[in-house]
Structure 1
């Protein structure tokens, strides 16, 4: 029967997979269990991209066919959207190099990035150079590093800065750009994306159609970066050049549609945006998104629903989603959904009304990290720092009282510890901050599953303990920096911290290698002008080589008397800039030196008031200004004749 199949295949072309499939089917009609015909049929179906049909052939052929065509079986599983099963088949003992390549790809799609990185490390080296696979392995390993950054495992990536060889091919430049974007280095990511696009355009071995297909994901990623950088006009202009319906990859098409909505500089109709957002076909299993992508798109969908005021629906769907999750609530995907659930439950209210609506939720879900942080944020917006701190410390105390490993891991999550430290810093409680960071670093040094505690938390703890004068704190800081150096011997910050911590407590632990790792003092002070500093008044330290000169005060600039600026209410209406102000303007007019009365009576009155002038005799019957002894004072006062007359006048009236 094998001879018959060989004769049938000899009459076909190697690229005519339909003819090969027909020949294999003809043989299988006569002999249903022919293993060679089954193998040929499975390969032909794989060549025709009929992966589900190929899997049915393998299921019909049983374990014998799966073992005979192990590579093809694993590949069919991988292309059918079942990468976990493909990795299991390809990872069996005694796998050849082709299966190891497939194992690396399958573990990459299954988001087992650490294992994929290990496999690519085995595939590289001299054998890859001999087989001409070095470039492909390096490109795929760069993609794995970028995914590790997206997954929050960036501490496993050894190469952070792109090397020169990464800038020579558009694939490696694109992977390096994705790594920068995942770390938040958006500016560097933008530069590398433009570099990758230019390199792809310059390739002569690619056709124009192939260039368009390769540049499409680069352009979609660049639109995202421009939106994050706030360059909305450029992002909108670039997004308009993408014809979204022509994108063959459905996942890339959906992401391009979302970016087009986000890049609009003008506000859009939320109902229309929601319709466009959901107007994409369902993604097949073979083209599924990574977890960080699907999580972000799920959040976008809920945000669209909130913009269209579907608060009750969002509250129900997010509650159902949270009830099915088994991961820790510190996961970014779960915590973000908790925030959206709180916003929907509070009907998008903020302030005291929003807090009042969210507090009952906290009683139902006391360990919900996203909900706790949302309420704390609302307290901080109302400048209620004390209540925010009380809420967070109560949450931490409840987790510590529980004592379960999961609750303790939540308690010492670096992000939550950072939030508590920030609240303590608002109150200036530096000693409490040192204690909190020291406890958190001690926990992670003891309970870290990967053996590598969060380096950012350890650095913060060590730096805080260095500010203390307590020898115990300094020794703890030294131990923290020692653990950091064990992980990364080239960490200069850890080296400097170790020297600072042990300089007074245990100088014998400082080696010459530690001192040599730091930049020399001469290089640090190369651009420092000591003479200029001394001339500016910097005090010289005591020196044993000679007497200390007296301090020279820094030259002070002469104070210039600045004219006071008059307030507007003090400026008169007829004020003119530059005109001299009358110094007697506060005196009554008749008391001013330049006052000249008008008319005969006015001049006579002024003559009588003039000091040293002749005073005229008073007319007879006129009232004297100064009373003579024994005379009565008439008028004024509370008694006397005037008071009597006033009383008599009102005697018959109503009081």
Structure 2
């Protein structure tokens, strides 16, 4: 039912316009009075929903849309999607916004997908908006698209999806307003460029102070900038700057509940004074209630949960932390490389050890490894404890067996985790520690084969490491595989000089025909490599001594000029026999039995005969043929002739 002219005229007559500013409270009162007369008037319902949105009463506005039914939702999809977005129903808001067209509702779609952490979709929407500036609306600032696009790119880097970001470096337009400068600083932080982020945050602060905003608005806009400056100063190790900036932040005056909670957490984490863990826990709970419309992103919430659990561990709540973290870990059906889940595994391990370290902690955690065979964080925790004890011989088979379980799993996600670059790098590091170069090459080649069959865009870092180690083997098969790896890297990025050098090194000795002149041109010319080499100085210096020989020579003691005769030991009087003559040379064979001494000569016939029989190489008399040999034993009289007795 459409609103008739008398209803709308009566409504407009009750509105007071003061210098172009509309009092939405009065609009709401007027429309409520009219709706009491005609409840099903869709136009009046629409006006009431807009007034509630203007008054930030988002739950009431959404309730109005539910009461108005499909007619009101179809009449005002922009307002309906916005009400869903502000009440935290992001998936529903995205669905409604996707079904309609218009620049305003596309902004809502981009914001809803951004808050839902679907940053790739949000970036696509913003790029579409930027490509059509001609249909811009009056409420849209020229920098709105750039500001939000920078935020999307920063979030992609925080998600480790920087390859999906369309922005690789900042431009001059990113420094023109404090909003863009602030988001540019966040973009730099996500990329690890902390020094650049520090400069950008300072510029954002200066631009905010020089803006035309009211003092109240300036104060509200400065708070997030100051909180980010405190975080950055703590990351750079500038404790004095942290304390100075902290005096400028009034946590209760921070407008956003999420920023307020982050500010308090950073204050507790960066404090030089040891805080009572029980008091810290109470402080954090005072700001922990965050509405759904202002909820933290996953990587932020993960860090917050991490810090909360640490506070509980410091408060000796080990059993509670163990139960709570295990329930969240168990909700993950397969193994994962997600930081949020693996960080919980580390905290769960800390709760089970009750503060123990070293071997006692390992003894408590090994049974857990068998009960949770696919827990990446737990397995790496035990490996790390073994490494801290320098027990690499136990760490290596533990990690090998864990990866073998993932490899033999029927779950495809377990296979992806098994060959994830981080776990492969951990095993390769253990192999390298043991000097197992063949095992290093085998593991890297195996992981490379998996990802090249799995996807068209395998991890670049893994391919580069595998190719580099395969070149070192000098085996034709390994060199062929290295050449294939570097060729695939050059297909992705033809300007990759490291990949070009690797390809030349792989094929130079085996298949030089596969090396194109363009790849050779990418290498640094030999003339430039040897430009600073002084040939004359090298020739005059002579043959270089290998470093290991120089080190051995440095450790070797200098030779003595003259060997001094060994000093004779002085015998104790109690050990000297009575007939001892100090001038007489001692017999060197005095410790041997007499019969074993070199100068011993036996006496008598029997002794001489025995001595002759023992002489090596001497003459041995052969027995006569008619002599019978005894078999040993017996009385010995069998061969003698019996004497006759007297008759």
Q: Secondary structure at the match of 1:537?
A: helix
Tell me what 1:226 maps to: 233
1:157 paired to 2:181 = no
Q: Secondary structure at the match of 1:305?
A: helix
Q: Secondary structure at the match of 1:38?
A: helix
Tell me what 1:544 maps to: none
Match of 1:357 among 336, 360, 364: 364
Contact conserved, 2:335 with 2:374, CA < 8 A, in 1? no
Tell me what 1:577 maps to: none
1:637 paired to 2:640 = no
CA distance in 1, matches of 2:390, 2:479: 35
Q: CA deviation at 1:554?
A: 7.5
Tell me what 2:5 maps to: 3
1:513-528 to structure 2, matched below 5 A, reads 513-517=518-522, 524-525=528-529, 528=531
Q: Which is worse superposed, 126-135 or 193-202?
A: 126-135
Distance 1:490 1:170, change over 3 A: farther
1:46-445 to structure 2, matched below 5 A, reads 46-92=53-99, 94-127=100-133, 134-203=142-211, 205-326=212-333, 328-445=335-452
CA distance in 2, matches of 1:637, 1:521: 86
Distance 1:636 1:189, change over 3 A: closer
Q: CA deviation at 1:257?
A: 0.4
Encode CA deviations 1:456-491: one digit per residue, 9 max, x unaligned.
222222222232322332332233233333434443
Distance 1:517 1:211, change over 3 A: farther
Encode CA deviations 1:218-250: one digit per residue, 9 max, x unaligned.
111121122222222321221222111111211
1:529 paired to 2:545 = no
CA distance in 2, matches of 1:511, 1:117: 39
CA distance in 2, matches of 1:397, 1:293: 33
Distance 1:29 1:501, change over 3 A: same
- TM-score, normalization by structure 1: 0.78
Q: Secondary structure at the match of 1:536?
A: helix
1:446 paired to 2:387 = no
Contact conserved, 2:334 with 2:413, CA < 8 A, in 1? no
CA distance in 2, matches of 1:493, 1:120: 35
Contact conserved, 1:536 with 1:554, CA < 8 A, in 2? no
CA distance in 2, matches of 1:507, 1:340: 54
Q: Secondary structure at the match of 1:124?
A: helix
Tell me what 1:582 maps to: none
Q: Give the total of aligned pairs.
A: 543
Q: CA deviation at 1:16?
A: 1.6
CA distance in 1, matches of 2:274, 2:134: 52
Tell me what 1:591 maps to: none
Q: CA deviation at 1:216?
A: 1.1
1:33 paired to 2:40 = yes
Contact conserved, 1:239 with 1:263, CA < 8 A, in 2? no
Encode CA deviations 1:44-88: one digit per residue, 9 max, x unaligned.
111111111111111111112111100110000011111111111
CA distance in 2, matches of 1:31, 1:518: 80
CA distance in 2, matches of 1:151, 1:89: 26
Tell me what 1:498 maps to: 503
Q: Which is worse superposed, 27-36 or 139-148?
A: 27-36
Contact conserved, 1:117 with 1:141, CA < 8 A, in 2? yes
Tell me what 1:478 maps to: 483
1:640-651 to structure 2, matched below 5 A, reads none
CA distance in 1, matches of 2:172, 2:478: 43
The alignment yields a C-alpha RMSD, in angstroms, of 2.7
Contact conserved, 1:236 with 1:260, CA < 8 A, in 2? no
CA distance in 1, matches of 2:28, 2:292: 25
Distance 1:151 1:636, change over 3 A: closer
Contact conserved, 2:392 with 2:430, CA < 8 A, in 1? yes
Tell me what 1:590 maps to: none
CA distance in 1, matches of 2:532, 2:347: 56
CA distance in 2, matches of 1:518, 1:198: 45
Q: CA deviation at 1:503?
A: 3.9
Q: CA deviation at 1:25?
A: 1.9
Distance 1:33 1:517, change over 3 A: farther
Q: CA deviation at 1:413?
A: 1.3
CA distance in 2, matches of 1:521, 1:195: 45
CA distance in 2, matches of 1:164, 1:515: 36
CA distance in 1, matches of 2:120, 2:427: 32
Gaps of at least 5 residues in structure 1 are 539-549, 556-634, 640-655
Q: Which is worse superposed, 476-485 or 434-443?
A: 476-485
CA distance in 2, matches of 1:479, 1:354: 45
Q: CA deviation at 1:97?
A: 1.8
Contact conserved, 1:128 with 1:134, CA < 8 A, in 2? no
Contact conserved, 1:536 with 1:553, CA < 8 A, in 2? no
Gaps of at least 5 residues in structure 2 are 546-575, 581-647
Q: Which is worse superposed, 100-109 or 173-182?
A: 173-182
